[in-house]
Structure 1
Amino acid sequence: MTRHPYLFPDAPRVLAHRGLVTPDAAEHGVVENSFAAVASAHAAGAAYVESDCHLTADGEVVLFHDDDLRRVADDPRAIADVRLHELEDLMSERGGLITLAQALEAFPEVRFNLDVKAAAAADGVGRLVAPHADRVLVTSFSDERRLAALAAAEAAGAAQRPATSPGSATVARLLAALALRRTRRVRALLDGLDALQIPERQGPVRVVTPGLVRAAHAAGVEVHVWTVNAEDDMARLLDAGVDGLVTDRTDAALALVNERGTPSV
């Protein structure tokens, strides 16, 4: 399998989880997935920013994790019920709203890892990332949403498909196939993927295992683990062969990777 341009040069990779919000920025009201958070990650040297996509009431794809505004703005409304200008007003003192179109235009050197959080956003995500497919990875907990976004990118004339990581159902099937030692099934499930973006554990289940890392690498698929904030865990996972760390502590992860003599990307 030919490696996707999104994954050049070699790992390890540090993916800024929803951008970077330092303690000082948080004290000044900056929140995750804001324009300021993305800019801060870029300024810290992060080549990759992980974010999330929702659709506003007037059809704009915005970088936002939750499906409503309760946690971020103490507002009960759903993102899908709020118009763009209203969301811009709410985010004006929280680091500034950033749409997906703005993110791709304002940060042409950044590679975006986009989680499609709403089915309604899939088509818009695909269309917007089509001209930038070499520097975008599309994922979702829902394989249906992920595949819809990839199809929309193709329909919009993308020169190649964006990189992609599977949804939770595919990951569950992969873990079952590994446990049953169904080698052909494992290979089939990994076919067409570029990365496995997974937690180290899911409740009592250990997701990241030596066998999974070996199987992924044998298929040319990288393993990215989320969300890793303790430096000891970062070092341990890199020692175990994982290729990427999704982290809220981008600055610390970049420093650790560079100290180990393996320049991050």
Structure 2
Amino acid sequence: MRFLDGPQPRIIAHRGLAVGAPENTLLAFLKALSAGATHLETDVHASADGEAVVSHDPDLARVAGRDGRVDQLALAELRRIPLGDGQTFCSLAEALDAFPEARFNIDIKDQRAAAPAAAAILRARAADRVLLTSFSAARRKAATAALPEVAVSPSVTEFVPALIGAKLGIRPLARRALRGFAAVQIPERRGPLRLVTARTVRAVHAAGAEVHVWTVDDVADMNRLLDLGVDGIVTNRCDLLKSLVDARN
């Protein structure tokens, strides 16, 4: 599985590097890789004509300043919408093709995007360099049905039994809950509950999975989490994380 090849920690660029580039665009991905990101985190929705489109939001308001939804427009129409810096929407297929060696962390944002995302990954022969995740286990499973060997991360609700096992020191419970998952991708906290602790990290590692924490942009927080032993950090500032990792090494 190439997704987990290479040295740790994983420097996971959240929607690319949106410094001088719009998020989730080919330029943002290029900037992230040039800054030292080891992985690209992105999101997919389905277009009106059933293509997996790289976009975090279901609508166009925040990124394009206009009305409408991604699923109301065909891919060709989305490509004509300017996002800034000469960029526009791209398909997942285009992103995988543009960066054939890059490792992609893909969040399936809606049910209709599951099948076209899987098809794009298959066409690009990229299953070994991709991790699929979603807040919905059903969405993720719909995509992975055609990709049985692809790396996956649990939804937060799927992670709950493992968290209980970790908190109570019942590692067999954590191992059962995390069977088949390559990585656990979680925020450091969920409300008042701290999800990422030294004990949690040890329990996830004992279950054979990595711990990736999102979304962390403060260098002091990055440093503290690395001291806890996390395997990767999802960040909007992969350039800062790369500098930190270099300094720690």
TM-score bracket for the superposition, by shorter chain length = over 0.9
Q: CA deviation at 1:125?
A: 1.2
Q: Any conservation in 2 of the 1:122–1:152 contact (CA below 8 Å)?
A: no
Is structure 2 residue 74 aligned with structure 1 residue 77?
Answer: no
CA deviation after TM superposition for structure 1 residue 208, in Å: 0.5
- Aligned-pair identity (%): 46
Cross-structure match for 1:51: 42
Q: Which of the numbers 193, 196, 209 marks the counterpart of 1:221? A: 209
Paired AA for residue 64 in structure 2: A
- Residue 93 (structure 1) shift: 3.5
**Aligned positions of 1:225-236 closer than 5 A:** 225-236=213-224
Please tell me whether residue 115 in structure 1 is matched to residue 107 in structure 2: yes
Q: Does 2:134 match 1:140?
A: yes
The equivalent residue for 2:6 is: 9
Corresponding residue for residue 239 of structure 2: 251
Distance 2:188 2:151 in 1: 21
Aligned with 1:223: secondary structure?
strand
One-letter amino acid of the counterpart of residue 259, structure 1: A
Task: Report the alpha carbon displacement of residue 180 of structure 1 after superposing the two structures with TM.
Answer: 4.2
The amino acid across from 2:116 in the alignment is G
Aligned pair partner of 1:97 in 89, 102, 110: 89
Tell me how far 1:92 sits from its aligned partner.
5.4
Aligned partner letter, 2:11: V
Aligned residues: 246
Three-state SS of the structure 1 residue aligned to 2:104 is strand
Q: What is the CA distance between 1:109 and its match in structure 2? A: 1.6
Cα RMSD between the aligned structures?
A: 1.4
Q: How does 1:103-252 map to 2 (within 5 A)?
A: 103-130=95-122, 131-154=125-148, 161-252=149-240
Q: Following TM superposition, by how much is the alpha carbon of 1:14 offset from its aligned partner in structure 2, in angstroms? A: 0.3
Distance 2:114 2:142 in 1: 6
Cα offset for 1:76?
2.8
Residues 219 and 120 of structure 1, relative CA distance in 2, 3 Å threshold: same
Return closer, same or farther for 1:187/1:59 CA change in 2, 3 Å cut-off.
same
Q: Which deviations, in whole Å up to 9, do the C-alpha atoms of 1:17-63 show, x marking residues without a partner?
A: 000011xx1xxxx3210121111112222221000011100111111
TM-score (ref. length: structure 1): 0.88
Report what 1:158 is aligned to.
Answer: none
* Structure 2: runs of 5 or more not aligned: none
Normalised by the length of structure 2, the TM-score is: 0.94
Give the secondary-structure state (helix, strand or coil) at the position aligned to 1:89: coil
Q: Which runs of 5+ in 1 are unaligned?
A: 155-160
**Corresponding residue number in structure 2 for 1:62:** 53
Q: Secondary structure of the equivalent of 1:147?
A: helix
Distance change >3 Å, CA 92–CA 72, structure 1 → 2: closer
